[in-house]
């Protein structure tokens, strides 16, 4: 039977050929739209209920803080809540609570029992994912589509993943008799508040430790909401303790005698200070610090895909990413077409309200971070780099920075050497693979890198030569709980994620 006769797939759906042509003709007569305007698509803010004031979460209870400060929304500068600034005495109470439950029950619990709690936490995070996503965007400034699709699901995935290891430690480390370390002091930054919490707490608990965690000063709210999850999961009081505050609180945790291990993610400067502080003590230490990753594009790469990878590499989370692809290395022969595609793509990025589902680039996390970005961008201009910023209308209140590309960058410029931690890309060029490797490795950091080429052999060759903890090939910023993450050189030491991520939370009687 022919299509015109109404049979076959077309006929069954009532779209005979004649009608289709009519539809097409009518469509082509309509004027082509001049541009795309996105109507606002705000995520409901009322899924989050904030308290006026939060204390510290110690031994399963809220401890009334001695001092407080206001945490704000960086997109509007409005105060969201008062939170505690933990004193050394309050940190001490948290460490004691963690020690008490470690010695009186938790560390002796069979792994299969600990796993049940981790599974519960993972499930509750999934159930309350919308609430967590909205709060993360509200307090941190990141676009809701990122907190909804990346931060929260990956956080739950970490708890699921490490729940699976809790009763298999003997198999992960055969003949090494793994035992928990004790009380872990964990200090996290503001760029991925909930995800960094998950990276820290999930493996620590899976190994039988207890924790005292300090979120960053500017982004404490999802960690405080997590305390609700801990209670809902009926985790024994004291296994997870959260103390909020600034660097002084972090310092008190680092130096506390009752802490057996420090896990830190943040700046290289503070990481070095912590390492100096702990040198010669019995405390274990892992440091996940800064980066200045090279994203290397060879002339045989699929250019449009590479442009998406570049954008994801540096503008994801406003560039507040330790492994951001902040140095773009482009093979000279494709420099012109690639940069013109990239600039065109930049004009389509939507900067604005983090709670709008259309937003690609949200608010800068704090006034201080914005000042740092502005200062480094000015240095790029002064040193002679060429700046490109797409036309962009920024909200009047809050902290914002237009996605930026610097071309004509020399390796010695500060914007090619220092971590900007903002939506700013520095472009350099190379001619040969050897030159690409040399330039990519010309940094004090060694956290991550990207390679774009269609040749598998070149990917493997580059991965071997690049001095970076993670090398992505034809993709960027891709995370999975089963994959270890961490750096070389001034990017720190120790691994988080995967089986490797268990080791820092264990000691071995060999
Ligand atoms: P910090 O290294 O200061 O902050 C990380 C965490 O450490 C926060 O919880 C912080 O508290 C805490 N902290 C600060 N001082 C001490 C101390 N002396 N002892 C113990 N803990 C401390 O990073 P910043 O937030 O100041 O950001 C500065 C720069 O660091 C950024 O511009 C960026 O370049 C880089 N950075 C890198 C990150 C990464 O993942 N690699 C993450 C964050 C920042 P508080 O929040 O109160 O300062």
Alpha carbons 88 and 475: distance in angstroms, whole number: 44
- Of the candidates 433, 486, 426, 487, the one whose C-alpha atom is nearest the C-alpha of residue 462 is 433
Give 63 Cα–ligand 1 centroid separation in angstroms: 25
Q: What is the pLDDT of residues 388-411, one digit of tens each?
A: 999 998 999 999 999 999 999 999
Reply yes or no on whether the pLDDT at 34 is more than 90: no
Please, are residues 253 and 242 in contact by the beta-carbon 8 Å criterion? no
What is the per-residue pLDDT for 30? 59
Mean pLDDT of the chain: 93
1, pLDDT greater than 90: no
User: Which amino acids bring their CB within 6 angstroms of ligand 1?
Assistant: 187-191, 214, 216-217, 246-247, 250-251, 254, 265-267, 270, 273-274, 289-290, 322, 369, 372, 419, 421
Which of 189, 253, 263, 370 has most ligand 1 atoms within 8 Å of CB, for mutation?
A: 189
pLDDT value of residue 334: 98
What percent of the chain clears pLDDT 90, i.e. is strictly above it?
91
Average pLDDT of the segment spanning 227-235 = 98
User: Is 227 part of the annotated catalytic residue set?
Assistant: no
Q: Which of 37-41, 146-150, 359-363, 462-466 has the lowest mean pLDDT?
A: 37-41
> CA of 183: how far to CAs of 232, 379, 453, in Å?
22, 43, 45
Give tens-digit pLDDT for 265-292: 999 999 999 999 999 999 999 999 999 9
- What is the average pLDDT across 171-186? 96
Higher pLDDT, 35 or 301: 301
* Active site annotation includes 392: no
Q: How far is the CA of 320 from the centre of ligand 1 (A)?
A: 12
Query: How confident is the model over 358-364, as a mean pLDDT?
Result: 97
List phi, psi (to 5°) of 290.
Answer: -80, -175
pTM exceeds 0.85, yes or no? yes
Residue 275: strand, helix, or coil = helix
Banded pLDDT at 38 (limits 50, 70, 90): confident
Residue 184 — pLDDT band, cuts 50, 70, 90?
very high
């Amino acid at each position: 039977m022919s299509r015109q006769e109404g049979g076959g797939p077309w006929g069954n759906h009532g779209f005979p050929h004649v009608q289709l042509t009519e539809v097409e003709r009518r469509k082509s007569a309509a004027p082509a739209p001049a541009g795309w305007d996105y109507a606002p698509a705000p995520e409901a803010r009322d899924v989050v209920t904030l308290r006026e004031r939060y204390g510290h979460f110690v031994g399963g209870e809220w401890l009334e803080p001695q001092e407080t400060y206001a945490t704000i929304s960086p997109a509007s500068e409005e105060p969201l809540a008062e939170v505690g600034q933990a004193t050394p005495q309050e940190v001490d109470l948290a460490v004691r609570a963690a020690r008490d439950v470690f010695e009186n029950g938790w560390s002796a619990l069979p792994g299969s029992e600990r796993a049940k709690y981790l599974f519960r936490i993972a499930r509750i995070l999934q159930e309350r994912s919308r609430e967590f996503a909205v709060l993360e965007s509200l307090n941190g400034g990141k676009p809701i589509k990122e907190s909804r699709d990346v931060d929260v699901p990956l956080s739950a995935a970490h708890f699921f993943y490490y729940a699976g290891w809790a009763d298999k430690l003997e198999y992960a480390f055969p003949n090494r008799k793994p035992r928990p370390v004790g009380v872990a002091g964990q200090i996290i930054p503001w760029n991925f508040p909930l995800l960094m919490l998950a990276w820290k707490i999930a493996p620590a608990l899976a190994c039988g430790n207890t924790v005292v965690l300090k979120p960053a000063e500017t982004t404490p709210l999802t960690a405080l909401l997590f305390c609700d999850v801990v209670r809902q999961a009926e985790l024994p009081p004291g296994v997870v303790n959260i103390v909020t505050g600034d660097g002084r609180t972090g310092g008190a945790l680092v130096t506390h005698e009752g802490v057996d291990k420090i896990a830190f993610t943040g700046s290289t400067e503070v990481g070095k200070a912590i390492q100096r502080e702990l040198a010669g003590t019995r405390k274990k230490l892992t440091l996940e610090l800064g980066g200045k990753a090279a994203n290397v594009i060879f002339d045989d790469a699929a250019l449009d895909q590479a442009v998406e990878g570049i954008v994801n590499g540096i503008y994801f989370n406003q560039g507040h990413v330790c492994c951001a692809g902040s140095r773009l290395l482009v093979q000279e022969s494709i420099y012109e077409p690639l940069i013109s595609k990239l600039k065109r793509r930049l004009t389509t990025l939507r900067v604005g309200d983090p709670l709008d589902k259309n937003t690609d680039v949200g608010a800068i996390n704090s006034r201080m971070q914005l000042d740092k970005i502005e200062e480094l961008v000015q240095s790029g201009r002064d040193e002679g780099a060429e700046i490109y910023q797409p036309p962009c209308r920024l909200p009047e209140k809050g902290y914002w920075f237009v996605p930026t590309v610097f071309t004509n960058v020399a390796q010695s410029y500060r914007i090619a050497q220092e971590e900007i931690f903002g939506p700013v890309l520095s472009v350099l060029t190379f001619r040969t693979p050897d030159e690409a490797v040399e330039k990519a490795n010309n940094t004090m950091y060694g956290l991550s890198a990207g390679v774009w080429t269609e040749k598998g052999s070149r990917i493997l060759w580059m991965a071997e030569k690049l001095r970076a903890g993670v090398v992505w090939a034809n993709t960027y910023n891709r995370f999975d709980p089963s994959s270890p993450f961490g750096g070389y050189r001034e990017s720190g030491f120790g691994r988080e994620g995967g089986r490797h991520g268990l080791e820092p939370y264990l000691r071995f009687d060999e």
